[in-house]
Amino acid sequence: MTLDRQRITSGAPWEDRVGYRRAVRVGNQVWVSGTVAVDAEGRPFAPGDAGAQAARCLEIIVAALAQAGARPEDVVRTRVFVTDMSPETQAAVGAAHRAVFASCPPASTMVGVTALAGAEFIVEIEADAVIG
């Protein structure tokens, strides 16, 4: 049995350049790719502000989930990558995460990394969801 795949695009030019999609739905599962904070034109959003970047990442993720027929309540796991593991960054990113998932907390991991896709990006978030 082969399940249909729904591929969700954000329209970002690097999706075709790199060969990926913002999200993929197979059956009742959705995987959202690592998401950095960009504005509507694809420029870095809020350089240096971890909380604002996390909130923007999550806005993009929630929009991709909606295109796939999922909601934040369906998210079962998030992975958060940050270039600064200071208590202040952890608190700011955690507050943005809590703002979306307070009523439906998923399993989550925060990992400190040395770099992301560009020096302006200090937060990247992935999400996995199970609908239903």
129, pLDDT greater than 80: yes
Q: What phi and psi values does residue 108 have, to the nearest 5 degrees? A: -150, 150
Residues of the domain holding 101: 5-130
The per-residue pLDDT for range 40-72, each reduced to its tens digit, is: 888 999 999 999 999 999 999 999 999 999 999
Please tell me the pTM assigned to this model. 0.95
Check residue 67 and give its pLDDT.
Answer: 97
Percent of the chain with pLDDT over 90: 90
For the chain, the domain total comes to 1
Q: Residue 44: which CATH number?
A: 3.30.1330.40
